[in-house]
Structures are given as structure tokens and as C-alpha cells.
Amino acid sequence: MIACCKNRAWAVIRRLLALVSAVLFILSFTVVRAESTAAPDAAPPEKQQQKHARGEQSGYHVDAPFVSAGLPEQRADLRPEVLDCMKSARSAVLIEPISGQQLLALNPDERLPMASTTKTMTALVVLENCSPDEMLTVPDEAVGTEGSSLYLAYGERLSVRDLLYGLMLRSGNDCAVALAIHVGGSVEGFADMMNARAASLGLINTHFVTPNGLHDEEHYTTAYELSLIAAAALRSPVFREIISTKYYTIESSVRSISIKNKNTMLWDCEGCIGVKTGYTSQAGRCLLFAAERDGEMLVGCVLNCAPMFDVAPEMLDYGFENYSVMHIVERGDELARASAPCLSGGIPLLAGESVYQPVLKGRELRTEVRISLDGGLAAPILRGETVGRAELIAGGVVIGSIPVTAGESVYPRSYRSYYEEVLGDFGHTG
């Protein structure tokens, strides 16, 4: 009788254990929450000294720093100043190119003509859509283009690379037309590509009609948005090599052409790497410029500024003397850990991209990280898999929205393993 009761009790207990193990098995598929969400008030001093990494190039395609629906939101704590020298310009700005934050600004959002600084976008679109080593025959439409010119001839053959040098060093308007037709099929088709690229950068006050910047009432930009275009183009090693070249010899099918860069800042300004000069009677003197010192880069623009070669170096000196680039999050940093029932240790959640911001020297930037996971994370989860996004907040604005990846792989446990584990624990009690 007693033995019979014990057997029935054991049977009931085994059924209950089976039910519990089944529930645990189901729970093992879902990671329910992230613990210890990171809120780094400031990066450690040693990380503040780390320099920002440049964008990478795949083939001849250039990856842009911003692909968004709007411009980078400006931090309230920066409050960009206006130097006295900037007042000789209609519009002027100095930015940190990775974050897009403004360090100096005078009418940075005013729509203005930009003359040949347009060719920065022309070069960017060309490099993103064809190889520099492609050869082309000068189209009839390019011959005799007004303004600054390389004096291209009918039927002359050149490489895209040589035409890009003619475009950026000599400021050849005919080079712009030849490249536009080669890449876009027509000047109008290429302008559409330029406008599409501007939209992909989040630009809202920029519109292109020509590839060379010859005046048109519907051809305009702002100092700030033009600086963002330069920041995107500077991620291309080919573009950077071209604009920093002082002298170059073009070899066409019929002649050799020796040219000199029109940007005198390459000789006179510490760390200058280009970018582009421009002039029309309507736009005035325009200059898009960049410099790198101690591994940090700044980009600036002045529009309708007669003493542009005096103003730009002073703006750069101010930027480098007063600001440094601060490491906020580096790709691979652990931001938090996601926990789940019956998963010991949790899953490390890692930053999928790096985030950098400019700060006044001697100050720190207090930041907060907010993580949102893609619903309930379900096993299996593979290491490196994107599982959510993280927003980094500083100065009252979101300074970065980056993917969050799993730092370890997680696999669902089998029903049998739970069943044996529970039975094993039960067998060792008492």
C-alpha cells in the first residue's frame, strides 16, 4: 500500500517536473531585457586623446558620414562664435567633419551661390559612380565651355582621374561638363545625381543645376551644407590626394598639360589639404577648405568673402587651438548586457559604430546612452548580429544613433537538457 502511494507520488512529481522543464525550454528562446544600460558621463582622459578614424573606401565607392533624413542636430553647449575676420564674409562656418558640429558660424544656413566650390560635389558623385582609371572621349558639349577651362579639344581622350585633377586644380568648367556627361549621360542627368546625393546627406538648402557652378538662380547651397559635402568627399583617399596636390601633369591622347593648384593655402596654411576655390561676379569669392593637425581634421567654408585666404587660416587656427575631438564610444565597446531566464552571464551588447564629438579643450562632455532592442531577442543569436540601436545624448541632443550588436552567440537549450538538469537537482536533494 505504502509502495503504491510512493509510486503514484513519484509519477505526479515527474509530470510536474516535465511541465516545468517545458516552460523553461520555451523561456530559453527569449531574451527579455538589457541590464546595466551604459550612461558614461565622460570618456576617460586617455580615450579623449584618441584620434578619430577615417572612413573606409571599398573599390572606388565612397561611404558618406551622414545618410539621414535631416542635418546633424547642433549641441546647445557649443554655441559657435563669430570671429571679427569672419564679418568680411556673407556666410562662414567651421565644423568638425565627423559629427557635423559647428565650431564657428556666421549666417551658416543662408542660401547663396557657391561658384566653383560646386565641383566638390561633382568630384564626389564621379568617384562614387565610376573608376578614376576609366578613359573617355571629350564630348562636343564640353568644348568651349565658358569661364575657367582646360581648353579640351574635340575627340581628345583622357582618364577620369586626369579630368578630376583638371576639375579641382585648374577649376576647369569643361572638365566638369565632360565628367558629367560621362557619368550621368547629360548635364541634366548628372545634376539629378548631384541633388540625389545631397538629399542622401540630409541637405535641405542645397540645389544643383550645373556641375561647374556657373551662375543659375536655382543653383545654391549654404556654407554649412557645403562643408558637409566636403566632409563626405574627404572620406575618399582619391579625392583627398587630388585636392592636396600642388602641381600635376595631365596626359591626354594629344598633349601634356602642366597645371598648378589655385588654392594658395596649400603653401601658406599649416596642415592644409585643400579643398576648392570659386568665383563668379554673383557669388563673389568662395572658399571651401580643410586642414589636419595632430591627427584631427576641421573643415570650413566662406562664401562671398574677398579676403578668403586671410580669413580661412584664422578660422582654422581658432578651431585647433580651442577644440579637441573626444572619444565617446568606439566600435566594439560594451554598452550593456542583455539577460534572459536561465542564461547565466547575459549577452554583451556592443557598439556597432564609433562616435566622436568636439569639445572645448579642458572640458568634458557628459553623455547618456539609451538602448532599444529589436523586440524580444530570440535565440539563436549570432555573435556580431545587429540586435537593436543605441542613442547617445549630449548637450540636450542625440549626437549619435548607432547599431547594437551581440558580443556572443546564444543558442537555445534542448528540452532534454532542462529535464535532466531538474531531475538531477531533485535527485540530490534530501
Return the C-alpha torsion angle 300, 305, 310, 314, nearest 10: -40
Dump pLDDT digits (tens) for 377-387.
777 788 888 88
CATH architecture of 57-326: 3-Layer(aba) Sandwich (3.40)
pLDDT band at 49 (very low <50, low <70, confident <90, very high): very low
Q: Give the pLDDT score at 54.
A: 28
Positions marked active-site: 116, 119, 171
Q: Regarding predicted confidence, which is higher, 161 or 334?
A: 161
333 or 206, higher pLDDT: 206
**pTM for the model:** 0.80
SS (H, E, C) 260-278: ECCCCHHHHCCCEEEEEEE
Residue-level pLDDT at 336: 87
Note whether 361 and 53 are within 8 A (CB).
no
pLDDT in tens, 234-243: 999 999 999 9
Mean pLDDT of the 312-321 span: 98
- How many angstroms separate the CA atoms of 192 and 216, rounded? 15
Alpha helices in 113-255 (DSSP H): 119-129, 160-168, 173-184, 187-200, 223-233, 237-243
Asked if the bond preceding 380 is cis, omega within 30° of 0, the reply is yes
pLDDT in the model for residue 419: 54
Instruction: State mean pLDDT over 49-78.
Output: 49
What average pLDDT does the structure give for the chain? 84
What is the pLDDT at residue 296? 95
pLDDT at 76: 84
pLDDT of 112 over the 90 cut:
yes
For residue 39, pLDDT beyond 60: no
Check residue 422 and give its pLDDT: 54
Answer yes or no: CATH 3.30.450 is held by domain 25-50+330-406. Answer: no
Question: How high is the pLDDT of residue 61?
Answer: 28
Nearest alpha-carbon partner for 201 in 228, 168, 172: 228
Q: Strands, E, within 97-159: which ranges?
A: 101-106, 135-137, 157-159
Residue range 195-210: mean pLDDT, rounded: 97
Q: Is the pLDDT of residue 33 over 60?
A: no
CB-facing half-sphere around the CA of 164: CA atoms within 13 A? 29
Residue 289's pLDDT is 98
Mean pLDDT over residues 415-420, rounded?
55
Domain ranges of the chain: 25-50+330-406, 57-326
What are the pLDDT digits (tens) for 317-373? Answer: 999 999 999 888 889 999 888 875 545 567 889 999 988 899 999 888 888 888 888
Per-residue pLDDT tens digits for 241-290:
999 999 999 999 999 999 999 999 999 999 999 999 999 999 999 999 99
Q: Any idea what DSSP says for residue 150?
A: -
| Interatomic CA distance for residues 145 and 174, integer angstroms | 5
Rounded average pLDDT over 90-118: 97
How far is the C-alpha of 294 from the C-alpha of 85, rounded, in Å? 25
Q: How confident is the model at residue 60 (pLDDT cuts 50, 70, 90)?
A: very low
Categorize the per-residue pLDDT at 12 as very low, low, confident or very high, splitting at 50, 70 and 90: low
